Amino acid sequence: MTTSHELRVQPSWKFVLSHPAHFLSFGFGSGLFPKSPGTAGTLVAFPLFAWLAPRFTEAGFILLLIWLFAIGVWACQKTGRALGVADYGGLVWDEIVAFMLVLFFTPSGLIWNLLAFSLFRFFDIVKPQPIRHFDQHWHGGLGVMFDDILAAGYTLLCLAVVKSLF
């Protein structure tokens, strides 16, 4: 994670509320959480998914996620530039969008949700290949957003294996 002396601006509620891109990329403020902002951002996906998913058809929800991904590329790019750090840890819109994708394909139930959450956080933190490659080599908004989509893919693959065993 980036240290504060490398930042052009110290993230705060004032900064987050200063532009819609900052508010979105900081996950409505959850990225300001002092410890594990990525986990806080991932948790935001639960109520957001619960509110959005019933309002769309399945195809409509996938299109929404694609749109939210594209908006995230723009928002994270703009916020990263303003901060002076392309992939600052408080930029959590990537976790929110990627985990909503995971939730879309996760069987219902508390155990499945806990497993999905744990697996997603594991892959997002550990960054096995090729996630690590893209995290290190793709910069800007697309780089911020893309590695979490890969973590979502790993999560969904693991969930599919577990489901096939039961």
- The ranges assigned to domains in the chain are 4-165
6-47 residue pLDDT tens:
889 999 999 999 999 999 999 999 999 999 999 999 999 999
Measuring CA to CA, how many Å separate 83 from each of 9, 50, 91, 96, 112?
5, 31, 10, 20, 36
CA distance linking residue 41 with residue 25, whole number of Å: 10
Q: How confident is the model at residue 3 (pLDDT cuts 50, 70, 90)?
A: very low
Q: How confident is the model at residue 166 (pLDDT cuts 50, 70, 90)?
A: confident
Residue 102's pLDDT is 98
Percent of the chain with pLDDT over 90: 93
Kindly state the tokens that stand for 67.
Answer: 């749109």
126-138 residue pLDDT tens:
999 999 999 899 9
Residue 2's pLDDT is 45
Residue 1's pLDDT is 45
Residue 6's pLDDT is 83
Asked if residue 5 has pLDDT above 90, the reply is no
Asked if residue 96 has pLDDT above 80, the reply is yes
**Is there a contact between 99 and 45 (Cβ–Cβ < 8 Å)?**
yes
One DSSP character per residue, 11-27 reads --HHHHTT-HHHHHHTG
Q: The tokens 């990627």 sit on which residue?
A: 98
Mean pLDDT in residue range 107-120: 97
